[in-house]
Structure 1
Amino acid sequence: MGAFDALSIAGSSMGMHQTWLDALANNIANVNTVVSTDQTAFQAQMPIVRSVEGGGVEVTGMALSDPAGRMVQDPSNPLADADGYVRAPEDDMASQMTQLVMAQRGFQASVQVTKDAQETYRSALEIGRR
């Protein structure tokens, strides 16, 4: 492992977690979005991530939830079909909030690794100046 690999690895982790947080923000904003039954439901996004040779991670794409979503009975909704159903996203607020906590904690951990590595490198430079 090279001298600055920790910064590179933590930086790639921060980028991945930021992408995850952005996707979750979009998912949470649309968790209550309903459409008529003849349309596809909002598809929640989830980053597809792979490890990078030499350390770190990268986002390689986005997985989408089932476009069929789930059928919800809401006869008062103007989008409801003749049987009173609308189509809602497959994911719910609880699952999205759970993922949000995990993504935030991962991002915070990556930030802390970056701070610790910077401090270590700064200390090493001070030792070299003496």
Structure 2
Amino acid sequence: MNPLKATMMQAVQGMELQSKRMGISSENISNVDTPGYRRKLLMVSPQQTTGDQFMETRVRLDQSEGVRSFDPEHPMADADGYVTMSNVSLVTELADMREANRSYEANLNSFQQARTMYRSLLDVLRR
């Protein structure tokens, strides 16, 4: 495979991955105050193939418990009157989203650099 094309494909997949991370963080932030909501995590594993796919992603739920608060009038209260809140930390999600955004930009810069090198190579070959 052409090394510049491979670099561009890896950058594209990196941007897709970071977009997924930002989407999951957005969902988590949207549900920070939803009782019983479990934080979603994006799991990434490298994929050893000869094709264009370099990684595999899947979403799983964070198994840590949310904070329990006493509110016997709440519709989701258990028999003892406690409600389990979400296990989402707003600070963690905002930091994760910021990191995903910066990684997206780094992949975009890598793609643009490879594209520029590819165009320069084509210009040299045309002469």
Asked whether 1:102 is paired with 2:103, we answer: no
Superposed displacement of residue 115, structure 1: 0.7
What's the counterpart of residue 66 of structure 1? 63
> Any idea what the Cα deviations from partners look like across 1:60-86, whole Å, max 9, x if unmatched?
311211274221345786655686642
Aligned residue identity for 2:43: I
Aligned positions, number: 124
5+ residue gaps, structure 1, are 35-40
Identity %: 25
Deviation, structure 1 residue 112: 0.8
Superimposed CA distance per residue, residues 41-62 of structure 1 (whole angstroms, 9 cap, x where no aligned partner): 1111111101233687423311
The one of 84, 87, 91 equivalent to 1:90 is: 87
Structure 2 unaligned residues grouped into runs of 5+ = none
1:49 aligns with 44
Aligned-residue RMSD, C-alpha: 2.5
**In structure 2, how many angstroms separate the alpha carbons of the residues matched to 1:66 and 1:115?**
39
Q: Tell me the TM-score normalized by structure 1.
A: 0.79
Q: Secondary structure at the match of 2:55?
A: strand
Report which structure shows greater RCO (CA 8 Å, sep ≥6).
Answer: 2
User: Could you tell me the TM-score, scaled by structure 2's length?
Assistant: 0.81
